[in-house]
Amino acid sequence: MGHDWVEDAKRRAAVEAVKNIRDNFIIGLGSGSTAAYAIEEIGRRIREEGLRVLGIPTSYQSLLLAAKFGVPTTTLYEHPIVDLTIDGADQIDSNLNLIKGGGGALTREKIIAAASKCLIIVADERKLTDRLGRGQLLPVEVLPFAKPFVEAKIREIGGKPHLREDRRSVPFITENGNFILDVDFGVIDEPLDLERRLKMIPGVVETGLFIGMTHLAYIGTKTSVRVMSTLRE
Ligand code: 5RP
């Protein structure tokens, strides 16, 4: 659990971000505690303002929240192009490159982000960093069959992989039936290069590096919401 200001900052960031949603949008519904506030606010706008949208959940968590807050859902099959996705992040640098995957939903999150015309990240200011990887492990989703091979390849390129486990020391299984390796790369100097190297390893399903995907970030501070953008004026 965060401090009081953190929960307040997350909620304020999410509420500001949801103001970008217009009628008839297809909305990517992100995962995690900050994205959850956005789903709640979308539900409020549907109920109180008659907003008409459809959401595409990135996880069972966001599917259940959509049902709870009255956000109707659809799939990429009906709507392969998403107008706007609102999602959280574990680390955000000044170019709005991200590390995601704390909740293990990175693969679906990245697919929905890539299918979106606009990706908005919502977070509290503790997520900002000058360098990705500083004090932050990089989640990598891997096919269980390939785990030992992928671990060896990751060590070759300088990472220290740790299999994600639940509290009973049972491997964490993603919604795609895979494992997560939380990898210590230290500070990541060349995130795009690392992304390419990891994606070339057979058995790597996806990485938590989101490079050049984010358009806007709403960052909740102790007192306000700071908007960061990669959009040209
Ligand atoms: C899940 C994610 C989340 O968006 C990320 O972990 C942030 O979560 P929170 O808003 O609870 O801090 O990437 O895979």
Question: What phi-psi label fits residue 11: left (phi over 0), alpha (psi between -120 and 50 degrees) or beta?
Answer: alpha
Instruction: Name the residue of 3, 34, 136, 178 whose CB sits within 8 Å of the most ligand 1 atoms, as the mutation to test its pocket.
Output: 34
Q: What is the CA(63)–ligand 1 centre distance, in A? A: 15
Parent domain of 33: 4-130+211-229
Q: Which CATH number belongs to the domain containing residue 81 in this structure?
A: 3.40.50.1360
Burial class of 190 by CB neighbour count within 10 A (0 to 12, 13 to 18, 19+):
exposed
- Cβ–Cβ < 8 Å for 215, 118: yes
One domain for residues 61 and 164: no
Q: Which CATH number belongs to the domain containing residue 161 in this structure?
A: 3.30.70.260
Ligand 1 atom at minimum distance from 105 CA: 14
Burial class of 49 by CB neighbour count within 10 A (0 to 12, 13 to 18, 19+):
exposed
Q: What is the CA(122)–ligand 1 centre distance, in A? A: 9
Kindly list the catalytic residues: 109
By alpha-carbon position, which residue is closest to atom 4 of ligand 1? Answer: 88
Instruction: Name the residue of 1, 11, 12, 31 whose CB sits within 8 Å of the most ligand 1 atoms, as the mutation to test its pocket.
Output: 31
pLDDT of residue 1: 52
- Cβ–Cβ < 8 Å for 127, 90: yes
CA 229 to chain CA centroid, nearest Å:
17
Ligand 1 atom at minimum distance from 123 CA: 10
One domain for residues 124 and 147: no
Residue at 8: amino acid letter: D
Residues with CB under 6 Å of ligand 1 are 30-35, 87-90, 100-106, 109
One domain for residues 71 and 46: yes
Q: Which residues make Cβ contacts (< 8 Å) with residue 80, sequence separation at least 6?
A: 115
Residue linked to tokens 């070339």? 200
pLDDT of residue 232: 66
pLDDT of residue 231: 79
One domain for residues 122 and 8: yes
One domain for residues 22 and 110: yes
pLDDT of residue 2: 52
In 3D space, the residue among 137, 136, 139 whose CA is nearest the CA of residue 180 turns out to be 139
Q: Which residues make Cβ contacts (< 8 Å) with residue 110, sequence separation at least 6?
A: 100, 206, 210, 213
One domain for residues 150 and 91: no
- Residue by residue, pLDDT tens for the chain (233 residues) are 556 899 999 999 999 999 999 999 999 999 999 999 999 999 999 999 999 999 999 999 999 999 999 999 999 999 999 999 999 999 999 999 999 999 999 999 999 999 999 999 999 999 999 999 999 999 999 999 999 999 999 999 999 999 999 989 999 999 999 999 999 999 999 999 999 999 999 999 999 999 999 999 999 999 999 999 997 65
